[in-house]
Amino acid sequence: MQLQEILYSQGFGTRRVCAGLIQQGYVQVYTENAASALVTITDSAMEFVATGLRFRVQGVDWECFEKAYVLLHKPSGTECSQKPSTYPSIYTLLPSPLRLRPQKSAVQGVQAVGRLDQDTTGLLLLSDDGQFIHQMSSPKKHSPKVYEVTAKHPLDDKQVQKLLAGVVLDDDPKPVRAAACEIVDPEGAALHLRLTLTEGKYHQVKRMLAAVGNRVEGLHRSRIGALELPDDLAPGQWRWLRAEDLQKLQAKAL
């Protein structure tokens, strides 16, 4: 594939812009025989194997992926929307190539796989793979999602049993029952709970605790499937998902 086409596919601008970056000497490619050796390329039509190609554009290192799969540590006070109403968008935390990756549809760039509330923190997936987004968002997948919950009031055994048995979310037009499939008290304090769900309804954790007479004061998603939020990934930071990470996302066992 021509180098200008590779840059275009990765979101570095229009084909004309990408060709200009190359011709002006702003693009270096890591050579195959020396991972640390960079070679400046000025021929925009030069052919490369796209998959796995590592290059640098105006000082920014990049690796070529046919599809983008990204993990973001969502901070509090951000919205999972391209057009936020009150708080900054999570998309402002991503580099422009991820936001500008071309797609066949009218929407550009990676999209969030589901949403977290503006005050909820933790693991958020983004991708430009529509099939992956649909699969991970589908209620039929039943992928376990683990949330660290801080409640306003200590939960007693009766409230915990109600959450496990299922509570009716009667604020829906058609009341539905939602249940936690696992509740762990990691700190021995009933204010802090680790709650696992296999479905995703609007404001589900908050509505479930409200249904048993309590309130969520803090909410953090720490795991999806077998994929855990890395300890060394600070709020607002992102990283690529690798093949082994994608395999962990398919895990349904708790």
- 117 is annotated as an active-site residue: yes
Pairs from 95-101 (Cβ < 8 Å, separation ≥ 24): 95/60, 96/11, 97/10, 97/11, 97/12, 97/62, 98/11, 98/68, 98/70, 98/126, 99/11, 100/11, 100/12, 100/13, 101/9, 101/10, 101/11, 101/68, 101/128
Taking each helix axis from N to C terminus, what angle separates 204-211 and 157-165, rounded to the nearest 10 degrees?
A: 130
Sign of CA dihedral 232, 237, 242, 248: positive
Catalytic residue among 43, 117, 172, 232: 117
Question: Active-site residues: which are they?
Answer: 117
